[in-house]
Homo-oligomer: A and B are copies of this chain.
Amino acid sequence: MQIQTHSTPSISEGMVISHLRMLAPYTEKLQKALEDNDYTLPEALLRTPFDTEVLETICKNTERFSEKTKTVLLVGIGGSYMGTCALYDALRGHMEHFQGTPAPKLVAFATVDPHVLNSITELLAKCSSAEEIVLIVISKSGTTTESLANANILFSQFAERFGNESANRQTIVISDANSPLTKRAVEQGMLTFPIPARVGGRYSIFTAVGLVPLRILGFDIHAFLKGAQEAFTASTNTKKASGAAVLASFLFEAYLQGARVHELFMWNPELETLGKWYSQLLAESIGKERDDGTAVGFTPTVALGSTDLHSIGQLIFGGRNDRYTTFVSAPTAWESGHRFSSDSPFVLPVFEGKEDGKVTRAMYEGVRNAYATHDLPFVSIELASVSERELGAFMALQMTTILFLAQLFDVNAFDQPSVEKYKNEVRRLLTS
């Protein structure tokens, strides 16, 4: 993974260096969190990819699913499912239903959606054995309304089709060790995994929350954790400013200069869900009131190159400029090996002798040049490949960036006090 920063007239290296200086003491705290084996600090999320004990337990207990699973039904919302979906979409792609690969399929249930629930009725009817399906229910608190609603309906259907015993055996619950949900799951004899109490949903991808479904889906979670370990180790180096600290400093300076939107501009369409994972991390961690009463935050957006240049290109280059852009790409994944044919009815002179990857590269570089020329602030992150290891590294990098950014903004990266505002209303309506 490579990070390239780019100064503009308004965002200078000098300003960034002064923010970096402020982050030095916090870097020491993060370094301690790496070894916080008992998860006492909220920053102990940095410890999660190093937790070999958890990894061993997961590998041992999920082994029995590895051969027969055809579909994983993942129930969760927000941080409980978004990270797994990000990896799945990136690595198995959105075209998997055309490819007929034997790898297990993922169906995620976040909101309560009748289309998806009805499809599962059809899917279950077609299954020949209960072992083809694994139902994974993830809720930190064990009381999330949408997740319990989906799990309730799915479990009933499963039990109706294959009996209660099979449904229990094929269901996994991931929740706080002491939640009411864990308690009931244990009573039913379901497999359960805990989430460390101080690790919040949006920072939980390297715990059982991500590792259990990813492992059952057949991904290389060892490589995924390896990437995360390297990124967390690099980010907490106290000797010199890390990539995460630099990214946070640029982003904060951009905010001071008026940026209010942070756009992740993905140059590989399969990374769109990774962009959404980052959006929730940024929005929930930084969008809040400071102690002095001022409200801060970025509106996160995800754009796809080159597609969205035809959707928002005019706004970017001609509209109000309140946007800070992070270009994310994996250039090695641009080549399909298809070469343009020069005797096709669909030709342009510029295609002569070129391959498809060259077109995407020209788009990517052309757009960055245009951003630079028009003083639109941006940084670029290039992944060496779309792989478990690079995705683990990217996610860990962004988590640390957000922790640094929260320090600069002087907000708590770990809480979400305002979410209760609508939950109270919903509770009132549901019980009335």
Contact = CB atoms under 8 A, between A and B. Distances in A.
Of A94, A100, A119, A337, the most chain B CB neighbours within 10 A belong to A119
Contact of A119 (B95, B117, B276, B317): B95
B347 A152 contact: yes
Given A148-B347, A184-B345, A283-B312, A336 B117 contact: yes
A111 interface: yes
Interface in A413-432: 416-419, 421-431
Given A77-B310, A426-B367, A317 B114 contact: no
A345 B190 contact: yes
Nearest to A95: B119
A341 B158 CA distance: 12
Interface in A69-124: 77-79, 82, 93-95, 97-100, 107, 110-120, 122-123
B318 A417 contact: yes
A115 B319 CA distance: 33
A100 to B, nearest CB: 8
B152 A314 contact: no
A310 B425 contact: no
Of A82, A97, A276, A284, the most chain B CB neighbours within 10 A belong to A284
Contact of A301 (B77, B301, B363): B301
Contacts of A340: 149, 152-153
For this chain, the copies found in one complex come to: 2
A53 B333 CA distance: 46
A166 interface: no
Interface in A242-285: 260-261, 268-270, 276, 279-280, 283-284
Given A122-B99, A283-B315, A366-B428, A112 B296 contact: no
B314 A283 contact: yes
Interface in A319-361: 319-323, 333-338, 340-341, 344-351, 354, 356-360
A318 B418 contact: yes
A306 interface: yes
A124 to B, nearest CB: 11
Interface in A54-79: 77-79
Of A151, A314, A369, the most chain B CB neighbours within 10 A belong to A314
A307 interface: yes
19 contacts: A77-B306, A111-B360, A111-B363, A112-B359, A115-B336, A116-B269, A117-B336, A117-B356, A118-B336, A146-B306, A279-B311, A286-B319, A287-B320, A299-B322, A301-B301, A366-B425, A366-B430, A369-B429, A370-B424
B348 A419 contact: no
Given A115-B270, A362-B430, A145 B283 contact: no
Closest 3 CB pairs of A and B: A287-B315, A78-B310, A287-B319
Given A260-B320, A430-B362, A110 B341 contact: no
A325 B99 CA distance: 39
